[in-house]
Amino acid sequence: MKIEKRKKLKELYSQYEKDVAEFKKSAACVKGCANCCIDVGNIDITTLEGIIIYDRVATFEEPLKSRIKAGLAQNKMERENGVLSRCAFLKADKTCIIYDIRPFSCRWLYSIKKCDGASPTIHRRALNLAKQTVKKIQQLDSSGYSGHISYILFLLDKEEFRKLYLRGKSKPQKIAYFGQSHGIMINRTVPL
Ligand code: SF4
């Protein structure tokens, strides 16, 4: 499923990187900083990005796979309680275990000043380009949803939901309660 969509998603990531390359030259971000991976509350993804991560996690050996699943469950619980928590994919050395397939939320964020616990400082033009790219990804994933990484992976872990999504179908009524209580957006209804 969705080979074309996966390809198009990579193109959208690449296009964004090209568009903001000049801005990112002044970024203060360094490998191993990971402030934005610990304040993971805003890491929202689409189901298209989620299924790519889901497939990768399925290839992990034990005990890593169980550790990631436990971390995601913890992220979900903490998020439900309004607590920001360390991303389940962040390694002890503060690098990302799924770096090559990290979602767009983790790609666009940078800061021209060292964050040191504060919010990142990003060029307004880059922020606007990021917002446009998010919309494009949601349009591309028109049969899917958007929400916090732990919520989308929780849904994809349900066989019925995953199979329906992989068939390109969507039945939002099936996840209505979870969706409403967890701020899940139906991509096709997100205004352009
Ligand atoms: S997926 Fe990777 S880059 Fe994104 S928040 Fe988690 S550890 Fe950080």
Over the stretch 33-76, which tens digit does the pLDDT of each residue have? 888 898 766 799 999 999 999 999 999 999 999 999 999 999 99
pLDDT tens digits along 146-174: 999 999 999 999 999 999 999 998 899 99
Whether ligand 1 lies within 6 angstroms of the CB of 57 is answered as no
Whether ligand 1 lies within 6 angstroms of the CB of 96 is answered as yes
Measuring CA to CA, which residue among 80, 79, 99, 81 is closest to residue 89? 99
Name 147's bridge partners: 45
Atom number, ligand 1, closest to the C-alpha of residue 53: 1
What percentage of the chain carries pLDDT values higher than 70?
98
Find tokens 């800061």 and name the residue. 111
Contact 144, 185 (CB under 8 A): no
* CA 177 to chain CA mean position, Å: 22
Among 38, 86, 89, residue to substitute to test ligand 1 (most atoms within 8 Å of Cβ)? 89
Rounded to whole angstroms, the Cα distance separating 113 from 42 reads 19
Measuring CA to CA, which residue among 150, 139, 8 is closest to residue 72? 150
Atom number, ligand 1, closest to the C-alpha of residue 89: 7
Whether ligand 1 lies within 6 angstroms of the CB of 98 is answered as yes
Name 45's bridge partners: 147
Query: What is the Å distance from ligand 1's center to 162 Cα?
Result: 22
